[in-house]
Amino acid sequence: MSDKTINLQLRFNRKTIIYIIIVILLGVFCFLNFRYSLISRGISYFNRASASLIVVDKDKKPIAEASIIISDQEAKTDATGYASLDKLQKGDVLVTIEKDNFTTATYSARLVKGSNDLGQFELTVAPEKTTTISGIVIDLYSKAKIDKALVTIEKSSGNSDGEGKFDVTKVPLIATKVKVTKAGYLDYESDVEIKTANDPLQIKLVPKGKVMFTSDRDGKAAIYQSNLDGSGAEKLIGNLNDQNNEEGPGSQWSSFYISPDSKYIVFLSKGDNGNGENNYLYYSNIKGENPTKVNEDKNPYRIKWLANNTVAYVTYDANKSLLKSVKFPDLETVQLNETPETASYSSFYSYDVDSSGRVVYAMSSTINGSTQKGVYIVNTNGTERRQLSDKYCSYLNFSIDKKSVYCQSYEDQSKKYVIKIEDGTVTEGFGPFDKYMGYYNNFEVSRSGKLVVYKDSRDGKTDLYMSDTDGKNEVKLTESGKVYSFTWSSKGNYIVYVTNKDGYEANVLYPASKETKSISSCDSGSIALNE
């Protein structure tokens, strides 16, 4: 055998030995690992334990759905607060108990082989997580900042300051409602979203007050009222057009008038389930309850409230126009104008009233073929009637200061006059608002006597304007071009007006911000404020 052959055999024998050694080692390793596994399983089996416990609150009431964690096992308590865990090992363990809105508790326990009753565990309510909510309270329409508004979120409250800003501290993170109250405004309530100080709440309050209007939304014209934002609409008085209507006398012509103290509503109705031949004056309280016929005067018109719960109106009887007043609630009726018994015809043109209880009116009478005409003033009870002038006026109004009467000539309507109430002195031409005189209320003066709101048509479009009483500093308030009628609130902070585009629509306008909100559709231009 050659040396080369001997070397190959030796090299082969070494590799074989190495492979054998590796196989033997792997076999030993697998044997030992298998033996260890068997031993561990045996030990685990013989050390197996289970645990049970009950979770309660400080009042010893069971807590359901609490999480119980021991080693790598987890379970939930049932309605009785009970939970059990299997496949545990004996020995020292940590018991962790978790439940929303409770403080997480961790306890040490020593488990023995088999069942372990760990007893009763008590959880304490977690300190409530709170935050501070900031914001601002403003008027919905005027955008004015509102101070001293009480803002309540859950059980925490705060007041707005002079800038309308507020901070409500210790607000629970689970807060859902914010409530705001302020005298002169509707109570506010809304869902609240927890926000940061960099994103404050903006709360807009709606001023108190009721807008009254007519609507046929249910197929029958009736008088409704709503809040100034259009919410809370309710029917006050139904209509008589339907013979089967059982709601009582209603506003047949959709015309109604609210007393200055907001106690009474006066309206027109034909009565007799809408089948009567003539309209009559009815009244009710402001809630529309117990509508009552005022008197037997037929077809009254040009109805206006005077002072002291008195209404003036014009009626026609035997070719004579009669200006009357009726006082509520005793319904005493007084004739204000004087119609000569020998007059064959008396014609009434216009009248105006002031807050002190005076009435000025213009009329003419035909006696034996000659015409007697003039402007007169009288108290609402018919006393102290006197003639101011023999001018023949088609329209007239009290002056803004109530010391004079503005009138428009019947013969020549380009002529305007000022008649002083004190001595009857007459001068021609009277100022910036003469063109707004007429049967309809085309302008209203603020309580301060410094501002005037008026309706004017320019370029074929009718809108509302406001200026000083001398006509300066005019501001256009609306852009609808279809303003039909309007009324100004007693405080002068908002105006309610009706437009007539494709139908009548009631709106609220705040002159300070020109903010306008549509309230409701209506079926006539009649509108009033119940303040």
Beta bridge partners of 499: 483, 505
Gap between the Cα atoms of 272 and 484, Å rounded:
31
Q: In the 8-state DSSP scheme, what is residue 48?
A: E
Highest mean pLDDT among 79-83, 247-251, 341-345, 513-517: 79-83
62 has pLDDT over 80 = yes
Q: Write down the pLDDT at residue 195.
A: 55
- Among positive and negative, which fits the CA dihedral 235, 236, 239, 243? positive
| Greater model confidence, 232 or 255 | 232
| Phi, psi angle pair for 35, to nearest 5° | -65, -40
Q: Write down the pLDDT at residue 126.
A: 82
Q: Are strands 201-205 and 130-139 parallel, antiparallel or unpaired?
A: parallel
> What amino acid is encoded at 303 in this protein?
I
Domain range 48-122, its CATH number among 3.90.1310.10, 3.90.1710.10, 3.40.50.720, 2.60.40.10 = 2.60.40.10
Q: Are strands 91-98 and 404-409 parallel, antiparallel or unpaired?
A: unpaired
Q: Write down the pLDDT at residue 252.
A: 46
> What amino acid is encoded at 383 in this protein?
T
Cα distances (Å, whole numbers) of residue 223 to 18, 257, 268, 445, 496: 111, 11, 11, 27, 16
Which of 227, 502, 207 shows the shortest CA–CA distance to 521?
502
- pLDDT digits over 143-190, tens only? 889 999 999 988 889 999 999 999 998 887 776 789 999 999 999 998
- pLDDT digits over 380-419, tens only? 888 898 888 888 887 788 877 788 888 888 777 778 888 8
Task: Please work out, in degrees rounded to the nearest 5, the angle formed at the alpha carbon of residue 173 by the alpha carbons of 167 and 179.
Answer: 50
Residue 398 contacts residue 388 (beta carbons within 8 Å): no
Q: To the nearest whole percent, how much of the chain has pLDDT over 70?
A: 79
Beta strands in 421-514 (DSSP E): 426-428, 443-445, 451-458, 461-468, 475-476, 483-488, 495-500, 504-510
3-state secondary structure of 408: strand
Gap between the Cα atoms of 138 and 126, Å rounded:
37
Cβ neighbours, 10 Å, residue 60: 10
Q: Write down the pLDDT at residue 362.
A: 82
> What amino acid is encoded at 285 in this protein?
N
Gap between the Cα atoms of 116 and 90, Å rounded:
9
Which of 259, 266, 265, 262 shows the shortest CA–CA distance to 281?
266
- pLDDT digits over 200-214, tens only? 889 999 988 888 887
Residue 506 contacts residue 211 (beta carbons within 8 Å): yes
Q: Which residues contact 155 (CB under 8 A, 6 or more apart)?
A: none
Instruction: Tell me if domain 48-122 and domain 130-205 are identical in fold.
Output: yes
Gap between the Cα atoms of 187 and 205, Å rounded:
8
Region 105-125 average pLDDT: 90
- pLDDT digits over 311-361, tens only? 888 888 877 788 888 998 889 998 888 877 655 666 777 788 887 888 888
Enclosing H/E stretch for 371: strand 370-379
- pLDDT digits over 300-318, tens only? 888 888 877 888 888 888 7
483-488: strand order across its sheet: 483-488, 495-500, 504-510, 515-522
Q: Write down the pLDDT at residue 223.
A: 81
Q: Write down the pLDDT at residue 79.
A: 93
Region 107-119 average pLDDT: 89
- Among positive and negative, which fits the CA dihedral 284, 314, 252, 215? negative
Q: In the 8-state DSSP scheme, what is residue 26?
A: H
> What amino acid is encoded at 341 in this protein?
E
- pLDDT digits over 427-484, tens only? 887 666 666 655 445 777 776 778 888 888 887 888 888 888 778 898 898 888 888 8
Residue 248 contacts residue 236 (beta carbons within 8 Å): no
Q: Write down the pLDDT at residue 435.
A: 62
Q: In the 8-state DSSP scheme, what is residue 145?
A: B
- pLDDT interval class at 45 (50, 70, 90): low
Region 262-276 average pLDDT: 72
3-state secondary structure of 54: strand
Gap between the Cα atoms of 266 and 30, Å rounded:
107
Residue 211 contacts residue 224 (beta carbons within 8 Å): no
Task: Please work out, in degrees rounded to the nearest 5, the angle formed at the alpha carbon of residue 371 by the alpha carbons of 367 and 372.
Answer: 90
Q: Write down the pLDDT at residue 8.
A: 45
Structure-token pair, residue 42: 């045996």
The average confidence (pLDDT) of the chain is 79
Q: Any idea which architecture 130-205 has in CATH?
A: Sandwich (2.60)
Gap between the Cα atoms of 212 and 231, Å rounded:
12
| Greater model confidence, 211 or 98 | 98
3-state secondary structure of 438: coil
| Cis geometry, peptide bond prior to residue 329 (ω within 30 degrees of 0) | yes
Q: What are the extents of the domains in the chain?
A: 1-46, 48-122, 130-205
Beta strands in 164-245 (DSSP E): 165-172, 177-181, 188-191, 201-205, 210-215, 222-227, 234-237
